[in-house]
Amino acid sequence: MKLRILFVCISSLILVSCGTKKLVVKNNARKVIIKPKPKKLPSVGQVKHIKNLKKNNIKLNQNVLEYIKKYAPIAVHEMHTSKIPASITLAQGILESGSGISELASKSNNHFGIKCHSKWQGERVYHDDDEKGECFRKYKFVENSYKDHSAFLSKRSRYAFLFNYNIKDYKKWAKGLRKAGYATDKKYPQKLIKLIKTYKLYEFDSFKKKDFKSKKRSFKVEADDIIAVLDESEKIESITYIVKKGDTLYSISKKFKVTVETLKELNNLNSNALEIGLNLVIN
């Protein structure tokens, strides 16, 4: 009798074990792309740039100077790749990441406050921003954050007019970002321009591509470098709408058959108030 009970118990354990294995196995059909460790970029004269700044102004913010020292090469690299002024990219990174020391930047390498949105399939974190517990993209490397920022601007039709501006005209770019609806802060352009002027970030816009050639290196791809994301070659089209007198988020949401929450998320709005002339992203 005891042997029979023992046999039944062993059989049950085997069945449970098999069942557990079946539950763990999943067929994940999501598209993945390997994100290798970024290449080390050559200097763009950022150390000398900072020394020159310190000679003329001892009151400069040390955190901002450290940020420039670390990330100026990435901003210049992205300028040559995506045609976005390095000064603009650096100024946005400084402003939106708190010079790289904000919680989102330090823990998630997200330097531009880019939210998940519906198509993001990579890692994500949740922070209180315009609303409680909002979803933000998480990156393994800061460089990926910069690349995503470039893609965010270059692959969305509402920012297309910016690329008609001279790459050295940072003032037009700063004002254009606000016009396109990148930020709801009315003083956003002025804040970018002040940073660019104070720290002479415009000097990086003149760095020639021929002077920015890194040596070819091979890197080992680690398991953590494989993350689920959209195909980067996919063109992202968006529909925009210019806000007119009498428009409300509710009336626009009904017109285009989207929710008010979606409109607020896509346009980084923290209230239902709308400014006439705002270029509102619909999808």
pLDDT of residue 250: 84
pLDDT of residue 130: 59
pLDDT band at 211 (very low <50, low <70, confident <90, very high): low
Average pLDDT over residues 92-105: 94
pLDDT band at 109 (very low <50, low <70, confident <90, very high): very high
**What confidence tens digit (pLDDT) does each residue in 213-253 have?**
544 433 333 333 333 333 333 344 457 778 888 888 888 88
Separation between Cα atoms, residue 6 and residue 72, nearest integer Å: 69
pLDDT band at 283 (very low <50, low <70, confident <90, very high): low
Cα torsion angle, 170, 176, 177, 183, sign:
positive
Average pLDDT over residues 149-168: 93
Question: What rounded mean pLDDT belongs to the chain?
Answer: 77
pLDDT band at 1 (very low <50, low <70, confident <90, very high): low
pLDDT of residue 213: 55
Separation between Cα atoms, residue 1 and residue 165, nearest integer Å: 88
Amino acid symbol at 101: I
Q: CB atoms < 10 A from the CB of 165, how many?
A: 16
- Beta-carbon-side half-sphere exposure of residue 185 (alpha carbons within 13 Å): 10
pLDDT of residue 22: 32
Sequence-ordered list of residues with C-beta below 8 angstroms from that of 27, at least 6 positions apart, any chain: none
Sequence-ordered list of residues with C-beta below 8 angstroms from that of 160, at least 6 positions apart, any chain: none
Separation between Cα atoms, residue 228 and residue 190, nearest integer Å: 37
Q: What domains, with CATH codes, occur in the chain?
A: 46-234 (1.10.530.10), 239-283 (3.10.350.10)
Average pLDDT over residues 34-54: 83
pLDDT band at 131 (very low <50, low <70, confident <90, very high): low
pLDDT band at 35 (very low <50, low <70, confident <90, very high): low
Separation between Cα atoms, residue 264 and residue 137, nearest integer Å: 17
Question: Any alpha helices (H) in 130-228, and if so which ranges?
Answer: 142-154, 170-179, 188-198
pLDDT of residue 150: 94
24: pLDDT strictly greater than 50: no
Average pLDDT over residues 142-157: 92
The percentage of the chain sitting over the pLDDT mark of 70, rounded to a whole number, equals: 73
Average pLDDT over residues 11-21: 43
Average pLDDT over residues 263-282: 78
